[in-house]
Copies of this chain bind each other. A is one copy, B any other.
Amino acid sequence: MSHSLSEYLHENRDRFEKELGEFLAIPSVSTESRHSKDVEHCAEWVGEHLRRAGVGTVEIVKTDGKPIVVAEHIVNPDLPTLLVYGHYDVQPVDPVELWESPPFEATVRDGCVFARGSNDDKGQVHMHIKALEARLKTGVGMPVNVKLVIEGEEEIGSVHLEAFLRENAQRLACDAVVISDTGMLGPDIPSIGIGLRGLAYLEVFVDGPSGDLHSGSYGGAVVNPALALAEILTALKDESGRVTIPGFYDRVRPITDEEREALNALPFDEDEFRAETGAVSLGGEAGYSTLERLWYRPALDVNGMISGFTGEGAKTVLPAHARAKVSMRLVPDQDPNEIAELFSRYIRDLAPDGVRVTVKALHGGWPWAANPESPLFDAAAAALKRAFGREPVYVREGGSIPIVPLFEEIFEGPVLLLGFAPPGGNAHAPNEWMSLSDYHRGIETIARLYDEVVHRGV
C-alpha cells in the first residue's frame, strides 16, 4: 500500500469515527413502520457519503419497500469488477432499558463504539465507503472496478432484493462479490467466512376461548392455550436435543473428518464463549461440539412467545391466545421452503383438541458453503495478513445472510465473506459494539484487497 494511502487512513481516523457516529445515529430499523422515514434518510446518507468519497455514479433506487443504494466506480471495463453488498438497516433496539448508552448515540468505551448497527452492518458498510474514499481522494486510484449494492431490508428478509438483482443483473455484472456482514473468530483473529446457516422463521398461533376467561370459573374444563403452546414447542425436540420434525435432517450433510480436524485446530475457547453468553453452561444437540453445533448442525429456537397476563401482580385469567416465534437455522443442503412446510405440517399434527393452531411463515433463507479454491480467497487472505499482521482463519457463521447463495447464483462468481464483527458483539441484542481498531484495520484490508485481486485474480 502506497505511503500516501497509509498516511491518509492514519490522518483521517478521527473524522472517519465521527462520520461513523453520524451514520449510527440514524435509527434505520426496517421492521418498525414508525422508522420508515429514518430508513429513507439513512439511504440518502449512504448515497451522499459515497458521492463525497468520489464514487463515479450513485443512485438511490426506490422499491416497493426500502430504497437500495446502488453505486458504480468503473475505471476500465477490462479490469476485474467487484460487487460489494451491505445493508444500512438495523434490528430493533428493545429491550431498550438494557442498553448502557442510547442505542442511536455512538458511545466509545475502551476503544469500542457502542450503538445499534455498529457491527451489523453499518460499521462494516462504512469501512467500504472509507476504503474507496482513501483510494480516490489520495489519487492512488482504483486498480479494479467496484459496484455497490447497499440495501435497507436485510433485517426483514431482503424482501425486494432478489427481484432487483435479477432485473439489474446486466448492470451489476461482476467477477466476484464481497460482503462484510460477518464476524471474526476472536479478537485480533482475521477471519474469512466459508459457510452460513440458512433460516426458516415462522410464528405459531394457538387460539382457545374467544376471550380471556376467569381461571377459577373455567380452569380445568377449558384447554389452556399457553399450556397447549408449551406442549407443542416441547414436542419439537427430543431429549438429546434433536429436532423431531419428520424429515428435518434428511438433507443435512454429515461433518467430514477433514472439517472436524480443521475445527479442532481453530483457536476457539469454549469457556470464553460461554462467559460471553452469560449462561451457566452451554448445551445443545448431544454428540456435537459447540462449533459443530453452531456451524455444521441445524438449530431450532423460540425467538419470542407471549400469552395472557404478563403485567405486574397476579391476574387470574385463562388466556384466549398464545403465540410463539420459532426459527430454525439450516445447513447445506436443507431447503428453507421445504423445512417451513415440514414444520407447519408437524405443528398441525401436534395441535391438541380444544384449541385452533395456525402457522405463518415470516421469512427464510438458504444455507451456504463456499468453495475456498477460488483465488479470491487467496487475495483476501493476503490483504488480511497485511492489515492484521497474521494469517486469517476460515470460519463458518451460525447466522444467515440469505442473499449470499443468491448472489452466487445470479452473478455466477465467488462470494467472499470478509467480516470484521467482534465475537460477542451483541448484534441483534442490547449494547451492540464494534472494536475501533478492527474498524480501521477493516478499512485498510479493503483498501489493500483491490490490489491483491489484481495480482491474484478472482
**Is there a chain B Cβ closer than 8 Å to A342's Cβ?**
no
Chain copies in the assembled complex = 2
Q: Are B398 and A218 in contact (CB under 8 A)?
A: yes
Q: Are A302 and B307 in contact (CB under 8 A)?
A: yes
**Is there a chain B Cβ closer than 8 Å to A308's Cβ?**
yes
Where the two chains meet, the residues of A that have a C-beta atom closer than 8 Å to any C-beta of B are: 31-33, 91-92, 94-95, 98, 156-157, 183, 197, 199, 201, 208-224, 226-227, 229-231, 233-234, 236-237, 273, 277-285, 290, 293-294, 297-320, 322-325, 327, 329, 352-356, 362-363, 397-400, 426-431
Q: Are B209 and A301 in contact (CB under 8 A)?
A: no
Question: Nearest-CB distance from A346 to chain B (Å)?
Answer: 15
Given A221-B282, A282-B354; 13 other pairs, CB 8 A cutoff: A32-B312, A156-B313, A210-B279, A214-B399, A215-B301, A219-B327, A224-B302, A281-B353, A303-B318, A314-B363, A315-B325, A316-B327, A316-B400
By a CB distance below 8 angstroms, the chain B residues around A303 are 215, 226, 308-309, 314-319
Question: Nearest-CB distance from A318 to chain B (Å)?
Answer: 5
By a CB distance below 8 angstroms, the chain B residues around A233 are 226-227, 230
With A94-B311, A304-B310 known to touch, is A199 a contact of B316 (CB < 8 Å)? yes
With A201-B314, A219-B398, A305-B308 known to touch, is A354 a contact of B280 (CB < 8 Å)? yes
The closest CB in chain B to the CB of A289 belongs to B221
With A183-B217, A218-B277 known to touch, is A304 a contact of B313 (CB < 8 Å)? no
Which of B213, B314, B429, B431 is the one whose CB lies under 8 Å from A429?
B213
In the complex, A98 Cα to B318 Cα: how many Å?
15
Q: Are B31 and A98 in contact (CB under 8 A)?
A: no
Which of B230, B283, B322 is the one whose CB lies under 8 Å from A354?
B283
Q: Are B221 and A284 in contact (CB under 8 A)?
A: yes
Which of B92, B283, B304 is the one whose CB lies under 8 Å from A307?
B304
The closest CB in chain B to the CB of A322 belongs to B305
The closest CB in chain B to the CB of A401 belongs to B216
Which of B214, B221, B277, B305 is the one whose CB lies under 8 Å from A305?
B305
Q: Are A278 and B210 in contact (CB under 8 A)?
A: yes
In the complex, A213 Cα to B231 Cα: how many Å?
24
Which of B279, B297, B312 is the one whose CB lies under 8 Å from A222?
B279
Question: Nearest-CB distance from A399 to chain B (Å)?
Answer: 3
Question: Nearest-CB distance from A404 to chain B (Å)?
Answer: 13
In the complex, A315 Cα to B318 Cα: how many Å?
27
With A216-B397, A311-B92, A313-B362 known to touch, is A302 a contact of B319 (CB < 8 Å)? yes
Which of B31, B221, B231, B306 is the one whose CB lies under 8 Å from A312?
B31
In the complex, A307 Cα to B307 Cα: how many Å?
10
Question: Nearest-CB distance from A303 to chain B (Å)?
Answer: 5
Q: Are B214 and A429 in contact (CB under 8 A)?
A: yes
Q: Are A222 and B282 in contact (CB under 8 A)?
A: yes
Question: Nearest-CB distance from A322 to chain B (Å)?
Answer: 7
With A211-B426, A215-B327 known to touch, is A226 a contact of B304 (CB < 8 Å)? yes
24 contacts between A and B (CB under 8 A): A31-B311, A31-B312, A32-B313, A211-B430, A215-B301, A218-B398, A219-B327, A220-B285, A220-B297, A220-B299, A221-B283, A221-B284, A223-B282, A229-B230, A231-B234, A303-B318, A304-B310, A304-B317, A305-B307, A305-B308, A305-B310, A306-B310, A314-B363, A316-B399
